[in-house]
Structure 1
């Protein structure tokens, strides 16, 4: 199916993936086998997987599965900037929109922020700005060309590829997953990328079957943490998602509108549903770094970075590089 890009092959690929998810036939070993096949199919990915790009100590890979049932604005993009404003080096994977209005790459276009041009530029970009936006195809050009446009719903690769394909020797990772089984993704990534010593996989279920790929303060938030070779998993029940709360964090109908909400969520001032959601996810990034922070201390730190204006100063600096 990877080598046959015909419409019939695409349809077969989608059916097979849907059947695997429905039948609960996936485990860490099966997902690791997928990674092996994909990295052999794409020789560029295979080379970078064998020798990940070195990056500063404490750097964290941030990525999301997308393909949510409820479409939020670009929370992980804002959270990555906010985490970087605290001094945590962040590598943020980006792509164009697939199932929502705006992907991270679409938001960066509006804001005038340039992603790195090649993997070799990532360390220098982190040293200069504390954050590097990285389009997935620069690490896996052949696979990205084959995968692009085939899936608009979650599939088995969503459990590992957004992080695994960011072939940097980071300290940790944060993956937002629009699926309940965060433990499966954490176990797969521990096997596929053992060099990522710490990390978290997060999802939130706003109502039965209504998933978002963020760690939310509304609904049932699930979190699987990887640390010291172990995985711990927990669920936190947040506020009941009201109509007003949903409207506040929902994606807007245009790229400009979503970029504006990203900017607003980083601005100094009082709390809003959008700022709380961004701060919670930025705090996860800090806990995946080499800081030793717990989630409460991390929330305090990212909140101060927003209220003090550090996040907006970083955003302004990034947009002035166009």
Structure 2
């Protein structure tokens, strides 16, 4: 690890060098202080796309459990954010994923319990009835038949435990906050929708998606700091694999006929509060502001997965999925399969 730290002080690491460093870290071979220095140096300087992609591949190499899909393999999509935005919103991307699944997107949702927030995607889905201990076969069946399955990160990536204490002691976002959303156990994915809390990470993450062979991806950062597409103002976007000659660089709710919300109107709470909001959203009984941000994000996911020609069409499909009850049915069936 000493040699790697010396290299890192001089230049960015190649993808292969990052994989070697990650092997030492996740196997427990590297001294704790070296790991801390390594993560801090990367975070302060800013991780490159090569470093991010190399770290993701290393995490896949340490993955426990395989996921066998029927042939031909479905084109899978994930929606995940880096977290750490400190905004205290409800679980927007998880609900957007469920709505998108009701519109024909095959969602392989990867997530965890809360770290810096009060309610992570795993906490929410568990409160809504999902069995987090579902077998890989059950999850695959759910994705293939319902369009939505949930992969509980600790079950597939136990090697992440090796850095848990170091990350906690550092108290800052590290490269592990970036690779978590990209290291989906159902790899390779075809589409990916990612939110980043740090605007500096927007393009490196998008370029990492390219290196990981994502066909069409959006990386978004709300100007208010959200790691989602926000409805309080502008969202900055990095798009790779755009079907258009003009990739999306930014978007705002007004472009799609949606009024602006305040941050307070998007606020969530603890697990019980966020589960109540989720039930209201899926039963089409949420506040207009809660509904708007979910359909806007779902519309972006539907567009990312090439199930809509543009975001506007994606939003229209998302609205229909809520009003028809299809989104609620997706969750109910996914929960049932996870417990069967």
What TM-score do the two structures reach when normalised by structure 1? 0.81
1:17 aligned onto 2:39:
yes
Q: Report the counterpart of residue 239 of structure 2 in structure 1.
A: 225
Mapped to 2, the partners of 1:131 and 1:217 lie a distance apart of 25
Mapped to 2, the partners of 1:270 and 1:257 lie a distance apart of 13
Do the aligned partners of residues 248 and 12 (structure 1) sit closer, same or farther apart at CA in structure 2, a change above 3 Å counting?
farther
SS of the counterpart of 1:160? helix
Give how far 1:18 is off.
3.8
Q: Report the counterpart of residue 312 of structure 2 in structure 1.
A: 296
Q: Report the counterpart of residue 20 of structure 2 in structure 1.
A: none
Alignment of 1:196-235 (within 5 A): 196-206=214-224, 211-227=225-241, 232=247, 234-235=249-250
Which residue, 300, 303, 328 being the options, matches 1:284?
Answer: 300
- The structure with the largest alpha-carbon Rg is 2
Q: Kindly indicate whether the alpha-carbon contact (under 8 Å) linking 1:171 and 1:288 is maintained by their aligned counterparts in 2.
A: no
Q: Kindly indicate whether the alpha-carbon contact (under 8 Å) linking 2:191 and 2:217 is maintained by their aligned counterparts in 1.
A: yes
Q: Report the counterpart of residue 27 of structure 1 in structure 2.
A: 48
For structure 2, the 5+ residue unaligned runs are: 1-24
Q: Kindly indicate whether the alpha-carbon contact (under 8 Å) linking 1:266 and 1:275 is maintained by their aligned counterparts in 2.
A: no
Q: Report the counterpart of residue 256 of structure 1 in structure 2.
A: 272
Q: Report the counterpart of residue 203 of structure 2 in structure 1.
A: 183
1:113 aligned onto 2:130:
yes
Cα-Cα RMSD: 3.1
Give how far 1:33 is off.
3.4
Which residue, 178, 185, 189 being the options, matches 1:166?
Answer: 185
SS of the counterpart of 1:168? coil
Which residue, 151, 156, 166 being the options, matches 2:175?
Answer: 156
Mapped to 2, the partners of 1:162 and 1:121 lie a distance apart of 22
Number of equivalences: 303
Do the aligned partners of residues 14 and 118 (structure 1) sit closer, same or farther apart at CA in structure 2, a change above 3 Å counting?
farther
Give how far 1:270 is off.
7.5
Q: Report the counterpart of residue 312 of structure 1 in structure 2.
A: 328
Give how far 1:279 is off.
0.8
Q: Report the counterpart of residue 59 of structure 1 in structure 2.
A: 76
Q: Kindly indicate whether the alpha-carbon contact (under 8 Å) linking 2:232 and 2:260 is maintained by their aligned counterparts in 1.
A: no
Q: Kindly indicate whether the alpha-carbon contact (under 8 Å) linking 2:233 and 2:253 is maintained by their aligned counterparts in 1.
A: yes
SS of the counterpart of 2:223? strand
Give how far 1:172 is off.
0.8
Q: Kindly indicate whether the alpha-carbon contact (under 8 Å) linking 2:52 and 2:175 is maintained by their aligned counterparts in 1.
A: yes
What TM-score do the two structures reach when normalised by structure 2? 0.77
Q: Kindly indicate whether the alpha-carbon contact (under 8 Å) linking 2:222 and 2:228 is maintained by their aligned counterparts in 1.
A: yes
SS of the counterpart of 2:173? coil
For structure 1, the 5+ residue unaligned runs are: none
Cα deviation, 1:28-79, whole Å, max 9, x if unaligned, reads: 1222333355455x2x36x96xxx7546534212222111131211111111
Cα deviation, 1:99-148, whole Å, max 9, x if unaligned, reads: 00011111122111224634444332212221001112343222x22244
Give how far 1:215 is off.
1.0
Give how far 1:243 is off.
12
Mapped to 1, the partners of 2:253 and 2:192 lie a distance apart of 23
Q: Kindly indicate whether the alpha-carbon contact (under 8 Å) linking 1:203 and 1:213 is maintained by their aligned counterparts in 2.
A: yes
Do the aligned partners of residues 31 and 268 (structure 1) sit closer, same or farther apart at CA in structure 2, a change above 3 Å counting?
closer
SS of the counterpart of 1:102? coil
